[in-house]
Amino acid sequence: MSPQRRLLVLGGNGYVGSQICDAAVACGKFAVSSLSRSGKPKHPNPHLTNLSAVEWLEGDVLDGGCRDATFKGSDVVISAIGAFGSNEFMERVCGDATIGAVESAASNGATSFGFVSSAQVGRLDLSPSTPMYGYFNGKARAEEAIKSAFPNSHAILRPGFIYGPRMVGSVGPVPLQLVGAPVNFVGTQMGPISSIIQSIPFVGTECSSMVPVEAVARAAVESLSGDEDVVGGRILMPEDIRKFS
């Protein structure tokens, strides 16, 4: 029996997005599509065995016309969009792109929306001139748009550093878990030492918020795989995300 609900992943050919696509196909409840500038990944992660079932769409999520054309018929939309650069660039990619997607998803009849945000959202009070301000403020603005448009049917994930096998161009997979897993252990499982680390602004949050990429993908998909009337609005913190490992 073919899936009857359509899930659209924004940025689905990226590191986190491809994991979400793979998990969504594996769960068997969705027909999965991905929208990104470059379409199908040129160097897919060989650990992800379900990507051949994904419909790879090429387009610019910042283009309203492109969104309207590709969002029609989507029941669930998950944004895994993010990038680093100037504050202005990050505001646009980490904030405006998802905010526009929220508007298009709502107007085209989507029932729920998921978003990969950051553990630092709501914890930092940064000056607009501070490096990385655009990244975190963009994510925070996107969260507010999602909660407003999908108050009872959203899943917002707030991970820190996301570790796991990652393709870097044609190289890899690079085992980021060799760094992320030990640091996460020190930041969360070593009693008084972990408490001291967690008290350090910014660094403490990052060290205690690292999560496996597979858990992020499963958390995003499984949190939005039920009927829209029972999904509810959810914010998943790192400790919630790890339960999907």
Please report, rounded to a whole number, the percentage of residues in the chain having pLDDT higher than 70.
96
Average pLDDT over residues 1-10: 81
The tokens for 165 are 């096998």
Residues 192-226 have pLDDT tens digits of 888 888 888 888 888 889 999 999 999 999 999 87
The tokens for 210 are 């690292």
Spatial separation of the C-alpha atoms in residues 195 and 219, rounded to whole Å? 26
Please report, rounded to a whole number, the percentage of residues in the chain having pLDDT higher than 90.
73
Three-state DSSP state, 145: helix
Task: List strand residue ranges (DSSP E) for the chain, in order.
Answer: 5-10, 30-36, 55-58, 76-79, 112-116, 154-157, 162-163, 165-168, 171-175, 211-212, 234-236
Nearest alpha carbon to residue 43 among 73, 18, 70, 74: 18
Strand bridging mode 171-175 / 165-168? antiparallel
Residues 21-46 have pLDDT tens digits of 999 999 999 999 999 999 999 999 99
The tokens for 134 are 């655009």
